[in-house]
Amino acid sequence: MSRQPPPSVHPDGSPSRLLVTGVLTKDSIAWEIARQAQEAGAEVILTGFGRTRRMTERAAKHLPTPPPIIELDVTSPADLAALRGEVEQHWDWLDGVVHAIAFAPSDAIGGDFLDTPVASAATAFEISAFSLKAVTQAVLPLLEAAPRGASVVGLDFDASVAWPSYDWMGVSKAALESVSRYLARDLGRRGIRVNLVAAGPLETLAAGGIEGFHELKDHWSRQAPLGWDVNDPGPVATAARFLLSSDARGITGSILHVDGGAHAMGGSLVR
């Protein structure tokens, strides 16, 4: 099978080959990361699975260059085992992976924290946190083969406090933050960086499933000194691209907050 020729090294240090998970609609952060990466000259592969794959395919058509889409259910050992080979049909290495996968069952989010059964909490953890390790491990040889080192970037929501209605998704985000640090510990010697971007609330498909999301939006309108546009994933995507690039070659195990500064404020601001 013929392979794509090695891409040129971009002057701004941007990664050349990216695997981007979690693209469902044009409003998603992952879609905006893919768009910005392609605009900068990168090649991109997306993942999708099951019934939602059709949504990924529709969103992919709106990217500058519609990319290949690989089947990936992060709870499927077979999909994870096949992921490396699927990517190798296109490329010999990966410069970066974007982890934009999160899910909590309806009884694990929305305000009934005490009543959530263990099975639902475990599902939220497996999909939203453990999958960062699972996906990274699945393509580890391709990341190690990257000529200039590689980067894994996950999408986070500040887990240092308890949020209204966020419940076991909040717990899973805390776990995601810990998983990223342990991955950074183990993969640094292999030339692979692992970081997270903690975004402010955005009007995405995932946000639509969070009861009480309007409370988070109201909080940010009062708390963020720079202000915050819940309809603009651009700043978050730009930060993710920075962490994916060689400009961030000395950064790993970190969480970059892109939330208008809300995380640093101790209370609501006077407007």
pLDDT in tens, 236-253: 999 999 999 999 999 999
The model's pLDDT over 192-231, given as tens digits with 9 standing for 90+, comes to: 999 999 999 998 766 555 666 677 777 888 889 999 999 9
CA of residue 183 relative to chain centroid, distance: 15
> pTM above 0.75?
yes
Looking at residues 101-129, what average pLDDT do you find?
96
List 26, 133, 166, 182, catalytic entry: 166
Percent of the chain with pLDDT over 70: 90
List 26, 173, 182, 217, catalytic entry: 173
Length of the chain: 271
Q: Is residue 173 flagged as an active site residue?
A: yes
3-state secondary structure of 8: coil
Q: Where are the alpha helices (DSSP H) in the chain?
A: 29-39, 53-60, 77-88, 118-125, 131-138, 140-144, 167-187, 213-223, 234-244
- Four-point Cα dihedral 14, 74, 49, 121, nearest 10: -120
- pLDDT at res. 268: 79
- pLDDT at res. 180: 98
- pLDDT at res. 207: 56
- pLDDT at res. 155: 98
Q: Is residue 182 flagged as an active site residue?
A: no
The model's pLDDT over 128-138, given as tens digits with 9 standing for 90+, comes to: 999 999 999 99
Domains of the chain, with CATH numbers?
17-264 (3.40.50.720)
The model's pLDDT over 35-93, given as tens digits with 9 standing for 90+, comes to: 999 999 999 999 999 999 999 999 999 999 999 999 999 999 999 999 999 999 999 99
